[in-house]
Structure formats: structure tokens, C-alpha cells
A and B are shown apart, each in its own frame.
Chain A
């Protein structure tokens, strides 16, 4: 089945040690999103790619970076994770941008920072 895949599902990293989370999609969608969801809070958009165009949210810390080497893959890099970065990270895709285009979510990667 076409889907959004996130690896790994659980990731443990040490304080200050760079970590990369991975997302891939078989939907051939133009747009890929990364959200951060802390416990009992709403998912918060960090950034998104429209094709190769990167769109950063104004309040996303510089510690968070992203790469999209091709249509299928998108990576979230956390350069120096702090304890406050422990969260569920959700990847989503949509065929195009706008409310008429459904976002399809992956199962998420739960990040623990020790």
C-alpha cells in the first residue's frame, strides 16, 4: 500500500548528540511536512517542503534542520538535542498545498533525549 513511512519508530539520543529522523513516501506527493508533538499538546508545524522549496516556520529553532534529497525522502536533523526536544515527530505529505489537499501522516518517531 502507498504510505508514509517513518524510521525509526523510537529513537534515543544523548543530550547534544546530533540525530536524524527519516521519512519516506510512496505517494509521489509534492509537499512534505514535519511536525513536533509534545505530550498532551497539539502537533506543531516545524517546516515543510514544496517540492525542493524549503519553508521554515518563524518560531522553529535553528537547532532543527531538514533535507529533502528527492521526492520520496525527507529528513529531520536535530543538531544538538536538548531535553526539551523530547517529543513525537510526525511526517506528513500532501499532493499539493491548501485545505483541499488531505495530509497523510506517518506513524511518528518518538524521540527520547537522555
Chain B
């Protein structure tokens, strides 16, 4: 069945470092792809999404590009802040349902 695999955490970076969180997917057809973020004590929030190959989703300085050839949707940010500390979930849409990866916890040190 369809699935999402993302890099295991926790990931610890210093403030202003470059961030990459890897995500690959397995799916038939061309699902929509998402990144969700969960800040401490809060629910999941949609961070960005891409609906077709080569689309780039972006929000709050984060970017991810839908790569059909590598079945990937890696999350990147050029300069992270302490406030970016959270758990990040890669996900895909299949038959109106969202399938999530296990999440990657990100710690940003000041």
C-alpha cells in the first residue's frame, strides 16, 4: 500500500543552520504531498503542499519540491530559528485520506 518514509530524528541544529528533512513516498499514481508541523502542545498544522510533479510548496521560509523521478518531497529551510523547533510530518493524500510518515523531531539551539 501507499506509504511515507521520513528521516528519523531527533535532528538538532544551531540557529541559522540549513535544514533538510528527507521524505520519500511509495504510491500508485500521483498523490498530493504535504508537510505538516506540530509545535509543542499544539495540533498538527499544514505547512505546505504540492499537488503535481515539479510543484514547489513554500511557507514560512520552508520549501519542498515534488520529485516524481525520485519519489521524494524533501523539506528545506535556508536559516532555521529556535521557533522552528517542532515535529514535522511528511504525508500524502490517497482516496481523500492522509497517510502520514512517523514524524521528525527538530531541535534548534540558540
Contact = CB atoms under 8 A, between A and B. Distances in A.
A107 B39 CA distance: 10
A106 B49 CA distance: 20
A97 B44 contact: no
Contacts of B98: 45, 103
Interface stretch (B13-21, B69-77, B100-108): B100-108
Q: Which of A41, A42, A45, A103 has the most CB of B within 10 A?
A: A42
B41 A40 contact: no
A61 interface: no
Nearest to B8: A40
Nearest to B97: A45
Contact of A102 (B42, B46, B89, B101): B46
A108 B49 CA distance: 23
Interface in B41-55: 41-46, 49, 51
Nearest to B46: A102
Given A45-B97, A107-B42, A40 B102 contact: yes
The prevalent SS among residues of A at the interface is: loop
A99 B50 CA distance: 10
A98 interface: yes
A98 B96 contact: yes
Contact of B93 (A40, A42, A99, A104): A99
Contacts of A99: 31-32, 49, 51, 93, 96
B103 A42 contact: yes
A42 B43 contact: no
A78 interface: no
B23 interface: no
B4 interface: yes
